[in-house]
A and B are shown apart, each in its own frame.
Chain A
Amino acid sequence: MAEEMRIVLRNYGKIDPLEINDYIALDGYKALEKAKAMEQALLIADVKKANLRGRGGAGFNCGQKWSFAYQAQADQKYVICNADEGEPGTYKDRLIMENDPHTLIEGMAICAYAIGATKGYIYLRGEYPFLVSTLNAAIEQASKKGFLDKFSIEVRSGAGAYVCGEETALIESIEGKRGEPRFKPPYPPAEGLWGKPTIVNNVETFANIPVIVDKGGEWYASIGAPSYPGTKVFTLTGDINNRTFFEVPTNTTIYELIYKFGGGIPAGKKFKAVQIGGTSGAFIPTELLKTPVAFDAMSEIGATTGSGAVLVLDETRDIVDVVTRIAGFFEHESCGKCAPCREGTARTHELMHKLNEGFGSSEDLELLDRLGRVMSISCLCGLGQAAPAPVLSTIKHFNADYYAKLV
């Protein structure tokens, strides 16, 4: 059975987050020094070799993303840290920023050197106002020690918009606009913030970088599942004994997460379903629990690794009620830019509500299923495309729960 392995949370509880010397004493900023002695292309090649894939949910190859921005010709490039952690049930990025802000700053500084950027932003969700001073203090300390000599970082706060986790919506928000996603392409590494080449990476992604640079891409690539190597932080919520977080290698199975790390279901109740990756994740039944949590293995069962949120439901839970609440979430968070999402999330919520109240028919259920499939291929951004996943997966795996509520 897999054991917990801490890479991004390696300093958790070991250092005073507001004391840079604690971080330095644990070899902090040595990776930045090492990176700066390397040629940019070779540094990026090593990150590519690590096969580190974006930990925000999309799973794009980080080194590859960097190479696009490195190759882009521009007078100004930007590095943005996506700290708009809004996926319900997720608080991994807060853990990293609260307990070890320097690992994030070091990761960003390495990226800045690699792609040739001089300016960086941390886009912090509005719900974490108490982290602004922590981050600013850490930036100031790093700057005083000379680690940010050719790179400055500014913290920008959001104001409550889930869609701003989408990288182009986030960029719009930093530009001082409504956080509505852009049409892609062009992608941010070609044209991002103020039209300049921009790297947007998640907090957890950046936190991996110092360790990868220190120990080498090959070492990192050997951990966990080969196609999505390394570790992933999971946060366990719902009907679970250990309502806490774990960082585990990516070949850990869902079963291990729930029963080994999570300690199983409380009060001797039976497992019913688990939703992984946040509120846009699929609900997974008992028979699929042997699936590893890595990106591609999850895709194969129609699920996602996502942000690493793990919501466990026991046998007493009304799954149609929970999905109705989730449908309400998406109606609220849809930015309204594209019709399939704006209308689709509202109609999905309406239909779910009707079914949940016991007024739905089998035609409604069919319509809901069809609407979900249309949305997943026609919405502009990831929000709308993923929004139907909880509905579609529960119709598929927990059909009886829906039928029990039909008129």
Chain B
Amino acid sequence: MDYKAIIAKYRDTTGGILEAFNAVQKELSYLPEEVIAEAARIFNIPAAEAYGVATFYSMYSVEARGKNVIRICESAPCHIAGADEVIAALERELGILMGESTVDGLFALEFTECVGQCQATPVITINGEPFFDVTAAKVPGILAKFQK
């Protein structure tokens, strides 16, 4: 769907810029400049303010990134459960470092803080979907689901 049409859906939602950004990101994986400008216009706020919102929240990216966003929890419970090994496995498997995207545009690798699934640490999420008790051995299988 066209980003203008997505943003327009939230026109009458007071303070709905976050909802609009969330919806756009679902489609585009990030917030290009024209999306921020359009949102500023629709919600009648200065572009600087819209940009301020886009750069405040950690789930938003104003730079292009891979379609499937992998986020690895690095909060204390995951940290002591061995998140480091999962990070190493993901970097190895995808051939990129944390904070980077694969050249085919399929994956982005990011840190996150706690995602609230601490019964099964370490945890990663891909496009918001959590994966539990992740080990280095489980990583290729998890990625395969998104490699189609």
Contacts and interface: CB of A to CB of B under 8 A. Distances in A.
A326 interface: yes
Interface stretch (B11-19, B99-107, B137-145): B11-19
A90 B114 contact: yes
Given A89-B76, A129-B128, A279-B75, A156 B19 contact: yes
A176 B58 contact: no
The size bracket of the interface on B is 35 or more
A98 B121 CA distance: 19
A275 B56 contact: no
Given A161-B57, A178-B53, A245-B119, A275 B76 contact: yes
A87 interface: yes
18 contacts: A88-B75, A90-B114, A90-B118, A93-B116, A126-B22, A130-B128, A156-B19, A159-B21, A160-B57, A161-B58, A177-B52, A179-B56, A245-B119, A311-B77, A313-B80, A322-B76, A325-B76, A332-B113
Interface of B: 14-19, 21-22, 43, 45, 49, 52-53, 56-60, 74-77, 79-81, 112-121, 125, 128-129
B57 A159 contact: yes
A128 interface: yes
A173 B18 contact: yes
Contacts of B118: 88-91, 235, 237, 309
A157 B57 contact: no
A243 B119 contact: yes
Interface string A297-329: 000000000000101010001000010011011
Contact of B114 (A86, A126, A174, A175): A86
A98 to B, nearest CB: 10
A106 interface: no
B58 A279 contact: no
Nearest to B80: A238
A313 B15 CA distance: 42
Contacts, number: 129
A159 B114 contact: no
B60 A88 contact: no
B80 A322 contact: yes
B58 A174 contact: no
A94 B117 CA distance: 9
Given A126-B59, A179-B57, A235-B119, A157 B52 contact: no
Nearest to A237: B77
Contacts of B43: 176
A204 interface: no
B129 A130 contact: yes
A220 interface: no
A222 interface: no
A97 to B, nearest CB: 11
B117 A91 contact: yes
Contacts of B129: 130
B113 A333 contact: yes
B114 A178 contact: no
